[in-house]
Structure 1
Amino acid sequence: MNHLPQAWGRPRDDVYGPYDSSYLQNNGPNQHTQQPIVTGTSVIALKFKDGVVIAADNLASYGSLARFTNVKRLRKFADTSVVGFGGDVSDMQYLDRLLNSLDIDEAYSSAGDTLNAHNLHTYLSKVLYKRRSDFNPLWNQLLVAGLDGEDMPFLASADLLGTTFSSPSLATGFGAHLAQPILRKVAPDEETAAKLSKEDAVQSVKECMKVLFYRDARSLDKYSIAVITKEGIDLKEDEKLEQQSWAFADKIRGYGTQVN
């Protein structure tokens, strides 16, 4: 009896004859991902006087199905930066492994310095542009938040084409339409953002998460939020919206599953 893992789940050769694996041979052209399948929605971020605050909900949708409700889309890097991922979850996992490998290389480097947010954003934008040039793009839009080489707040975006830009406030997905108007009222330019307090920035981002939950069908009331300052990264991954206006709905007969 064949106990090798590659034989698990296959018919026994001594009973059914040799296993025919010819159908596994593919002589056709190489194929790449044509569209994202399991996706995360908006990531939003805002600069303030001493750092950056960034948030993303914990939902990964399979098409229109809210399939996975505990997917963390914020990743810390070297205690200096946070990367927020929008778009395809499998490509996010690939980039996460890439960043983990880079973090280990940096930790054991003889130079003694690690990548700051500005360097990290440049690296990720080159990775995205290279994959796009290979006609095999990573279906993500990233926000990189943290501090640059001079310990100044840094916030920039990179998409699947390798396009990059920076602003006092950024958002991906529907957040670019629903959250950005709110954030731009709070910090319309760099000068205003440089005077914004941490408390006001966090409150504005939480308000945006509430708007997205109400208005974006691919969002969730559970989210992750990170505040990056010189003191380090304060990351909370299981925050929940408070004072929801829809909390009364489960008490209405005819809504959801009735137990009585």
Structure 2
Amino acid sequence: MNHLPQGWGRPRDDVYGAYDASYLQNSGPNQHTQQPVVTGTSVVALKFKEGVVIAADNLASYGSLARFTDVKRLRTFADAAVVGFGGDVSDMQYLDRLLTSLDTEEAYGTTGHTLNAHNLHTYLSKVFYKRRSEFNPLWNQVLVAGVDQEKKPFLASADLLGTTFSAPSLATGFGAHLAQPILRTLAPDEEAAAGLSKEQAVEAIKECMKVLFYRDARSMDKYSIAVVTKDGIDLRENEKLEAQSWAFAEKIRGYGTQVN
């Protein structure tokens, strides 16, 4: 069956003969993606004493439509790092295949070593910069969480321009506006982050996911969360916010029918 767009709604070629598609003018210039189509929203992450907590919801939106509700946007790498993807889902899938190939090469290498989170972040930033230099960017911002070569917590971001940034807490999308104030209050610097326990960091990230669910129209209450330490990765992909309800909205003036 012909699945190409020019064949949509047409009779089958093997029954009615080939169709003259010359009017489609397929000899035009190559075109690259001008803007993301199916997108994932915020990724949030926070360092603590022994590692990093990172989370992202499982929604992929087609414009303003909550189209896909089971898209996992956290990807593990070699039991040493987790990559959280924000932005275009198709570009995310391309990067996932790229990381799978890299992971396989590292696993079967003869050196006995593999990439840590710091190395992986450097690699991804170069990939982003190369594509940007070709005027064909990958429409993503990623957070890389894990441990570095000294087994210390590592957290950094890279975006479609190849720009890199590192901090005790990071967030993409609306999380940069809604979640970061919460995280920076808890861990304003590296010293404060080093004093956080795993339980405190996980609770803070869950609170951020709750705020994003209520305030970001492109998020949902089902999410993935990972805790990365030198001992490995604890990834849970089907977490759900507890006892979420919009009943409180009835008490807000301007919501629904007001009687007084």
TM-score (norm 1): 0.89
Give the secondary structure class of the aligned counterpart of 2:118.
Answer: helix
Q: Which amino acid aligns with 1:138?
A: L
**Is the alpha carbon distance of 1:22 and 1:233 closer, same or farther for their aligned partners in structure 2, counting shifts above 3 Å?**
same
Q: Which position in structure 2 is the counterpart of 1:180?
A: 180
Deviation at 1:230, TM superposition (A): 1.5
Q: Which amino acid aligns with 1:171?
A: A
Q: Which amino acid aligns with 1:127?
A: V
**Is the alpha carbon distance of 1:24 and 1:205 closer, same or farther for their aligned partners in structure 2, counting shifts above 3 Å?**
same
Q: Which position in structure 1 is the counterpart of 2:253?
A: none
Deviation at 1:231, TM superposition (A): 1.5
Q: Which amino acid aligns with 1:150?
A: E
Distance 1:170 1:53 in 2: 11
Give the secondary structure class of the aligned counterpart of 1:46.
Answer: strand
**Is the alpha carbon distance of 1:119 and 1:91 closer, same or farther for their aligned partners in structure 2, counting shifts above 3 Å?**
same
Deviation at 1:72, TM superposition (A): 0.4
Distance 2:2 2:37 in 1: 32
Distance 2:177 2:33 in 1: 27
Distance 1:155 1:14 in 2: 56
**Is the alpha carbon distance of 1:32 and 1:243 closer, same or farther for their aligned partners in structure 2, counting shifts above 3 Å?**
same
Q: Which position in structure 2 is the counterpart of 1:81?
A: 81
Moved segments of 4+, more than 3 Å: 3-7, 9-15, 17-25
Q: Which position in structure 1 is the counterpart of 2:233?
A: 233
Deviation at 1:15, TM superposition (A): 5.0
Q: Which position in structure 2 is the counterpart of 1:136?
A: 136
**Is the alpha carbon distance of 1:239 and 1:17 closer, same or farther for their aligned partners in structure 2, counting shifts above 3 Å?**
closer
Q: Over residues 12-70 of structure 1, what are the superposed CA-to-partner deviations in whole Å (9 max), with x where a residue is unaligned?
A: 66753344343566211110000000000000000000000000000000001111111
1:92 aligns with 2:118: no
Percent identity between matched residues is 82
Q: Which position in structure 2 is the counterpart of 1:258?
A: none
Q: Report how many aligned residue pairs link the two structures.
A: 248
Unaligned runs of 5+ residues in structure 2 are: 250-255
Q: CA RMSD in A?
A: 2.3
TM-score (norm 2): 0.89
Unaligned runs of 5+ residues in structure 1 are: 250-254, 256-260
Give the secondary structure class of the aligned counterpart of 1:104.
Answer: helix
**Is the alpha carbon distance of 1:242 and 1:19 closer, same or farther for their aligned partners in structure 2, counting shifts above 3 Å?**
same
